[in-house]
Amino acid sequence: MFSLGARVKIAVVGGGPAGLYLSILLKRQDPSHEIAVHERNAAGSTYGWGVTYWAGLLDKLRAGDPESADAVAEASVTWTDGLAIVRDQRTVHRGDAGFGIGRRRMLGLLADRAAELGVELAYERPVTGPDAPELAGADLVVAADGVHSALREAHADHYGTTFTTGRNPYIWLGTSKVFDSFSFAFKETGHGWIWCYAYGFSGERSTCVVECAPATWTGLGLDTMPEGDCLALLEKLFHDLLDGHELIGRDRGTEPAQWLRFRTLTTKNWHRGRTVLLGDAAHTTHYSIGAGTTLALEDALALADALRTGPADPAALDAALTSYGKRRRAELVSAQSAARLSAQWYENLPRYMDLEPDRMFALLGQRHSPLLPYVPPQLYYRIDRAAGRLEALRRLKRWLGPRVARAVHRG
Ligand SMILES: Cc1cc2nc3c(=O)[nH]c(=O)nc-3n(C[C@H](O)[C@H](O)[C@H](O)COP(=O)(O)OP(=O)(O)OC[C@H]3O[C@@H](n4cnc5c(N)ncnc54)[C@H](O)[C@@H]3O)c2cc1C
């Protein structure tokens, strides 16, 4: 068991999924640990709507802490179908079971579980930097303070921080329509395509993420419109998907709507002395693969694992944090590649929009493929269909994909 002294003091900065879940795991590992989570916001106030995850995550969470895993499972909704509306045509695909849970609900469940185990939850407590009084005397400081992490930014060079900003503006909204399938709508306007995807996360609400190219955004006036007008225009564009339901932003007021460009973060080193990065503070992956929360929770599982066996001295802590960072950076490679390819697929959307809707939808499901950007979409679709029937071809495709991607990358 990780132990630097009689009573280990752990300061976690950030009460998002990563910070809360790590505090649960470490407290379970050793109830004598003194663990405090410092969160700048008030309890129950958070950004975002629902988040998606897949069944494999629940198995991992059950191994980490069955109680919180059961609570997350119980509060989640599930779907198997995917629906796409392309212009006015509908197409449906059956897929693997997906899950959605409200971000606020999940944080509430994790916070309750952490408090039950004896973790101190300090809300409305912003930690200003590595020398903040909240961190004094801590044996271990966990920077789980999200993509804008103040603890990481204070030593950005040491952590080897790199940001890449996506091309397309997007907005993360809620809606009162409750979707029972993972649903997309692609609409052609006089200024180019605009699209959204939506999924349920409770019995009353769904998430709706809208995205378009910059020229479409400015052409439609979305860049300058007050939020109220912006939501009204999006409701009109996506009326068949929303069935007349409203979109929900901040307050539908006169302030500009919260359009953003996604920032992909990578870091080379994940710890500095007693401070370690966790979740979005260490890495982000484009929202279109719906994996950031899962990856943050997996970081927490890996860090708790690394701290389980360390002997009682600071050098061992350093070794444990090094091995955690090394393991997670390796495990993240495929998700980071999928996220990059997925973001690019959407940035090249017009390339796929002349296909029949069911073919376009099939290739949307293949957007993580490194081969797809280099093969004409119709041909890729036919190869994929054939590969679906012929396992040998599928293996060839898997073998060829990374080689083509590497060769093109080198070129
Ligand atoms: C549009 C969009 C859609 C997404 N959809 C999905 C999805 O479907 N599935 C999925 O898995 N992921 C999704 N994500 C990603 C997911 O939201 C994040 O990856 C996840 O929240 C990361 O968890 P975290 O705990 O590391 O960071 P965060 O959730 O960002 O938590 C960080 C916490 O730290 C607090 N904090 C920050 N600074 C300080 C400070 N100085 N002092 C104290 N507290 C501080 C913040 O208030 C926050 O509570 C999406 C993201 C976006 C943008």
Q: State CA 407 to chain mean position distance.
A: 29
Cα of 270 vs centre of ligand 1, distance in Å, is 18
pLDDT digits (tens, 9 = 90+) for 261-271: 999 999 999 99
170 and 250 fall within a common domain: yes
The reported pTM is 0.93
| 163, 283 contact by CB (below 8 A) | no
Number of domains in the chain: 3
The answer to whether 351 touches 343, Cβ cutoff 8 Å, is: no
249 with 169, same domain?
yes
pLDDT tens per residue, range 347-370: 999 999 999 999 999 999 999 999
Q: Report H helices in 118-175.
A: 150-153, 156-159
Measured by CA distance, the residue closest to atom 31 of ligand 1 is: 16
The residue range of the domain holding 384 is: 349-410
Considering the domain architecture, whether residues 267 and 278 belong to the same structural domain is answered as yes
Is 177 found in the same domain as 56? Answer: no
pLDDT digits (tens, 9 = 90+) for 8-30: 999 999 999 999 999 999 999 99
Q: What average pLDDT does this structure show over 204-229?
A: 97
pLDDT (mean) for 88-115: 94
Residue 235's CATH number: 3.30.9.20
Q: Is residue 121 part of a domain?
A: yes
The answer as to whether 1 is a domain residue is no
> From ligand 1's centre to the CA of 181, what distance in Å?
24
Provide the pLDDT confidence category of residue 399 given band limits of 50, 70 and 90.
Answer: confident
Q: Which of 20, 52, 145, 294 to mutate to test the pocket of ligand 1 (most atoms within 8 A of CB)?
A: 145
Residue with tokens 């939501």: 231
Q: Which residue has the higher pLDDT, 4 or 343?
A: 343
Instruction: Write out 292-303 in H/E/C secondary structure.
Output: HHHHHHHHHHHH
Domain boundary among the residues 244, 261, 278 is at: 261
Q: pLDDT averaged over the chain?
A: 93
Which residues are near ligand 1 (CB < 6 Å)? 13-19, 38-41, 48, 51-53, 126-127, 144-146, 150, 172, 209, 279-280, 287, 290-294, 296
Q: What is the mean pLDDT of residues 290-308?
A: 97
Over residues 210-229, mean pLDDT: 97
Q: Listing from the earlier edge strand, what are the strands of the sheet with 34-38?
A: 120-122, 34-38, 9-13, 140-143, 275-277, 271-272
pLDDT tens for each residue of 145-180: 999 999 999 999 999 999 999 999 999 999 999 999
3 in a structural domain:
no
Whether residue 390 is predicted with pLDDT greater than 70 in this model: the reply is: no
